[in-house]
Structures are given as structure tokens and as C-alpha cells.
Chain A
Amino acid sequence: MADFQLSAEGVEFVKAELKRYETPLSAVIPCLYRVQKENQGWVSPESVSYLSQLMDIPEAHINEVLSFYTMFNREPVGRHHVQVCCNISCAMNGARELTHHLCKSFDVKEGEVSKDGKLTITRVECLGSCGTAPMMQINDRYYENLSPDSAVKIIKELE
């Protein structure tokens, strides 16, 4: 695995974030988000080392934050990260069945990357869109009021 590096804008972003808070530790979450965005949706150990040097924060401290929050992926994900909410409202509206259906339709196991590298499907806890259950988030977008067929259609339309 080649060494990870942020883009020039990414570096600028990190530097700005560092100045924004009282303590540099507060900037870890936004910076990890940035890294995840620029590193195909996941945060690799190499990128933690890189960030540690850039931010002058020990690797262990960044890793503490990284391993605490579920929004950060510590394993590679597909180009489209499908997060199906399985919290109470969605679950009552068939979100778990929906997840199984999606996995079956696209021949991918939960949490794993599909063979063509397009897709990763995971279950997540509440995404705060209970009124439109069931719903899923693909990368940064919400798709709501899903049915098994509409969800498959949405994913198929993605490139």
C-alpha cells in the first residue's frame, strides 16, 4: 500500500481546522472525515500515521477517536457505501429484510466489498430520518421511503 497523502486543499483544510479549536485534539474528527473522503471512503493505518505527522498528535490518540466512532471505516469499502438504517422505525418497516434483499440482489455479504468494487452494504443505527422509514444513506445522500424494489433500482442506477 502506497503512502497516503492529502491533496493540497486537504492539507489546507487540516491546517485551518487545527487553528479553529482551543485544542488540536478537537480537530481530529473533521480531519479524519477529510482523510476518509480522499482515501476512497476509509481510513487506513497509513493515513493515520500521515495525519499524526501533519497534525502533530500521537497516532494512538487519533486511533482512539477513529476506533470509537462507527462513521469511520477502518476497512476498505466500495465506491458506494450503502448504509441501511436498522433502528426501531426502519426495523419495524422491514429494514432488516431490506438489507438481506439488497445483499442477495447484488451478491455481496454485509460489510464486504462487492466483486466489482462498486458496493458495500452495512447496517447502521439511527440516521435520524424515522418519519420516512425505511431509509438508507449512500455516501452522503439519503434515500427514503424505500421498498425492496425501489432500493435495488436506486443502487442499479449508480454507476
Chain B
Amino acid sequence: MLKCKINGKEMEVPQGTSIIEAFKLSGQDIAHYCWHPGLSVAGVCRLCMVEIEGQPKLQIACNTMVQDGMVINNNSETVKDVVRWGLDFHLINHPLDCPICDQAGECGLQDQYMQFGKYDPEMAERKVKKRKVVDLGPTVVLDSERCILCSRCVRFTDEVSKTHELGIFNRGDRSEIGTFKDRPLDNKYSLNTVDICPVGALTSKDFRFRQRVWYLKTAESICPGCSTGCNVNVYYNEEGLWRVRPRHNPEVNGHWMCDEGRDTYKYVNRKARLLEAKMGHRDNWTLESPGAAAKAAGQKLREVIEAHGPESVALVLTGQYTTEELETAVQKFKGDLGSSLVYHWVNNPESFEDFDGILLRGDKNPNTKGLLKILEQEGVSLTWKDLESRVQQGQIKTVVVAGPENQSVFPDFVEKVNLLAGVENVVWLTACPHSVLDSREKATWQIPLKTYIEKAGSFINHQGKTQSFEVGTVIVSSALTLAEAATLLVGQELEVSSGDRLAELTRKKNFFTETRGAL
């Protein structure tokens, strides 16, 4: 361990720590653009200047290693002056279009300017004009004028995604970010470049101009997109979710997440959701509140069991629910209904084990491990074949399906619904509607469930790591969790919660007023 003093604060850091990392460890602010903890050091922005006792010149904190006994500060007038000038140079060609820039509110330049701005620019020359609104690929838009050439995105494509699309072309004040021959920036991690862009040069096609970031609140969650279980922040307002961004977790996803995972907010919003329960069959549906529909379906379940015995009822589960929900569902089903027919719906067995070497996994369920654990714990080991043969023989009169939340990753969705076409009653628990369910000929209950962001629980990822999350926000308040639905289905009543949690939720503070300037 090396001893050093940072702005008067004594601390010990491990060998090989750079000064900027020591600043981060000590919890003190230091201006920077090009340095990113997940990327290599470039040392191009020259903003993280620090004064080291005994050294005549200022040094950049990102590329200087801490040595034993170093006394470092970044709050002297010299340092502040240098940062002020450094920032002014960055702004020479940067357009002052914050009011129409999508990055405003979470922009590194804005944040640093509050602290180090000269407020009286001395540049009389015209700004260099560069390309604007460049369609860089399916997900990203580039504005070259706003770019400060920190090279974070270039290093990202070189070091993390290893796709090497981006480069800095030309030189001097004509330098700009681009791709060779303007080929699209099209990789599965391209939106990370938008996250790490400290200015508004790279913006997300999906998110730009849809919301001002200061109107959004954030909640921590776990991405339900695949079995990696990336830690994420979701950004929401009263209308619903607007975007998903990665949250640092060195054990799971580092600083990154894939583009696919960022789409997981789409099926959560009201437009995509099943808002009321539907009971009936094709062309003859009655709308009902979710709770009442679950009770009615429960009544039917018990009638079927009375008539045909408990083995006429089956439960189909997907790895899209929390461990707690799955446990309650299986226990209620086995204990209270007495049926041991519980099945695991595997959506894409061929690609289940796929892994792209970075984050993306073929298993598109966040909690397959959790489901397998519960099934093992409850002693269930039935194969899908078994269900198929029982259905064909007509032994099964009623199936309860906890269908996928994220239907788009279940390529066999229609096939599975059709498999159950001959079953007399299907209770389909789902967050989103699907036309193939609406066209079922026999009795069906479609009961709306809550999505991952609306409930608390835990997922077990591919490593076997249990990751818990809290309720982020509620979008369809009447929807049930799987545990609630299972409770109602077996004829029990729900416990009424005090409502304190909801009050706590609504009082959640705005992320941006708390962590401004955190790059």
C-alpha cells in the first residue's frame, strides 16, 4: 500500500493506482472527460490536472501513478486556472446549442462549466463547422460539432466491443469521429458509446428528444433481457419507462450492457400492456379487474379438480419471474391444489448456452437458475414431452401458464399456445397481450401481471449469483404479481399492505439533483 495525501486528506492506495483513481477512492471531485474507469487511459482532455508537491509542472491525474508519500492537490489557484483554460479550449469549436441538445442536463461540459467556466469567452473567431445529425448506425446519431474528441467511444469499440468501427479522422480542428467509408456503427453494444459520451455528440436514436433528463427519475433494477442479469438504472416518469442504462457492477456487467437489454423498457409501458383481465374465448371476451378474474379462474380450477382430480391441472412456468414468486406459485399449486404437474417452458433450447464473450447470453430469461432451483427444491422434474403427451391424451383439463414477460424473445410463443389449443381451460398470466391468445377457441382467462420494474424480488443469474431488486415504479397498478395471482387462484385472499412502501416510492428523489457532475 502506498501512502499519499489528496487535498490534505491522508490515504492509502494499492500499488499501481493512478492519481485520478485515488481521487475517486477519496470521494473527491476531479474534472475529467477522456478518462473512464472501464477504458484505457488516453490523456487527451488535459482537464484532470493536479499539483504534486515537489514537481514544477502540473501533471494529468489519469496517467500519473501514485507514489509513496505523494502530496497531491487539485484545489490550488494554479490548477483551477489551468482547468478553466483547458475548458475554454474545449469550447472553442463547441456549439452553444444546449437548449436543443439532447445531452443537456447530463452533459459533462455543462457540469464542468458551472464550476470552471470562464463565463466570458475570449474567442472572437468563427467556430469550425462540421457534420451534424450524422446517421451513424441503427442506434446512434452523431453531431461532430459537439464532439470534444475525448476518444472514449473509439476506445470502447477497440477495447470492449472489439469491433473497431470508430476512429478519429483528419487532424487539427478538422478532426472528427467517424467510421471508415461512413459504414454504420452496428454492433450489439453500440449504445454504450452514447452513455460514455461526455457531451451531446453521440445520442441514442431511441431516446433523443423524447424526454428531458431532468424530468426523469431513476430506479435501480436488474435487466431481465438475458441470464447475465446486468445491473441497470431505469429512467421513468409518471408515463412509464423511457430508457435503461447500465449500472456499474464489477462482478456481473462492469460498466456496460447490450443494446438488446436496453429495449426491455418497451414492453413495460402501458401501450404494450394488458391493462384488464379478459375472460371468455374468441370473439367473446368479458373485461374484468385482474383480481376478480384470478378469483373466477381459481373457482374454475377447483371445479375441475373436483370433477377430474388434481392431476388434471398443470402449471407452466418460465424463467422470467422472481425466485420468490416462482416459489410461492409452485408451493401454492402443489400444496393447496395438490397437483404436482409443474413444467418448465424453455424458449430456445438450441441457443440456450450461447454466449458472445462479452455479456449477451442465449438464455433470454433472467431467472432460469432460480426456476431450476425452486423446481429442484419442490421435487419437480417433469419434461416438456410429458406435458405434450398428457395434453394429447386429454388428461389435462386446465393449464395455468406464467407466460413470458418479454414475448419477443420467445420464438416458440405461438407454437406453445397452439399446443394448448385442445385444453378446455387455459389461465394465461401475462404482462402483455398477444393476438394468438385472443383467438383461442376454448375458455381462456388472460390475467395481467406486473413486470420486473413493478415488483421486488430476486433473480439468480447464470453464475448463480442472487441479485435482489426493489420496486422501481408502478405502471399498471391493478396488475398482479405471479405470487398474488397464485394466491388468488388457489382461493386464498391477499394480504393488504400498509401502503408505506408506495408513499416511499413516490417520494423518491430526482437522481440529477443529487449526482450532478458525476461522469
Contacts and interface: CB of A to CB of B under 8 A. Distances in A.
A64 interface: yes
Contact of A60 (B165, B170, B171): B165
B164 A63 contact: no
Contact of A68 (B164, B165, B166, B170): B170
A30 to B, nearest CB: 19
B346 to A, nearest CB: 38
A58 B158 CA distance: 9
A67 B169 contact: yes
Q: Is the interface of A mostly helix, strand, loop or mixed?
A: helix
A128 interface: no
A45 B181 contact: yes
Interface residues of A, number: 10
A67 B176 CA distance: 11
Interface string B155-199: 000100000111111110000000111000000000000000000
Contacts of B166: 60
Nearest to A59: B180
Q: Is the interface of B mostly helix, strand, loop or mixed?
A: mixed
Interface string A65-76: 001100000000
Interface centre among B165, B166, B167, B168 (most CB of A within 10 A): B167
Interface string A115-148: 0000000000000000000000000000000000
A45 to B, nearest CB: 5
B171 A48 contact: no
A64 B170 CA distance: 7
Contact of A58 (B164, B168, B169, B181): B164
Contacts of B169: 63-64, 67-68
Given A45-B181, A48-B180, A63 B171 contact: no
A23 to B, nearest CB: 13
A64 to B, nearest CB: 4
A61 B170 contact: no
26 contacts: A45-B180, A45-B181, A48-B180, A58-B164, A58-B165, A58-B167, A58-B180, A59-B164, A59-B180, A60-B164, A60-B165, A60-B167, A60-B180, A61-B164, A61-B167, A63-B167, A63-B169, A63-B180, A64-B167, A64-B168, A64-B169, A67-B169, A67-B170, A67-B171, A68-B170, A68-B171
Given A58-B180, A60-B165, A67-B170, 9 more contacts: A45-B181, A58-B158, A58-B165, A59-B164, A59-B181, A60-B179, A63-B180, A64-B167, A68-B170
Interface of B: 158, 164-171, 179-181
